[in-house]
Copies of this chain bind each other. A is one copy, B any other.
């Protein structure tokens, strides 16, 4: 998932960083696409504006994430990118990236593998959103993300972050976790959750 893992050194070398003010536009739909972006810090949203001026958010990207992958294969952007916060982004120039993909099948393969993995996780997350009950969503999250022992999950972020990921308010998640713990279904210790009893 991390851009550093699959990019070739030459492309990494060609990267350009850019600072953004809140509300600043990084690129606009129709503009010539420059390459792939990675967020160093802050948040950027990709939006499509309808003729009435209302914006529909296509994605919200945060530190560590990449966006505009598809623009690599298209001459122009298909949406606007606007910084939501003060932010720093890193641009991996399109030409260098494409050259690499053409030249080295191993890099192309790594790139495709990264995308395939993303597709997989995204589909799983989407599937999870189809689950109505908060408790079942948590269960889904736990069984999908359980470690090797199949029983423990260690949260990478805060509980609030998890709530956002699950598509719940943090209050709803706190309550759900509390109830699951009270019922003996899980046990919590800091950032790790142990699945105690399977329902």
Contact = CB atoms under 8 A, between A and B. Distances in A.
Interface stretch (A17-25, A118-126, A154-162, A176-184): A118-126
Contact of A50 (B102, B119, B143): B143
A42 to B, nearest CB: 18
A54 B105 contact: no
Interface string A37-50: 00000000000101
A183 B122 CA distance: 35
Given A58-B120, A126-B126, 15 more contacts: A48-B144, A57-B140, A58-B123, A58-B127, A59-B127, A70-B117, A70-B120, A72-B113, A73-B109, A102-B109, A105-B105, A118-B119, A119-B119, A119-B122, A126-B129
A70 B101 contact: no
A51 B195 CA distance: 11
A10 interface: no
Contacts of A125: 126
Contacts of A72: 112-113, 116
A199 interface: yes
B116 A70 contact: yes
Nearest to A65: B123
Contacts of A109: 73, 98, 101-102, 108
A56 interface: yes
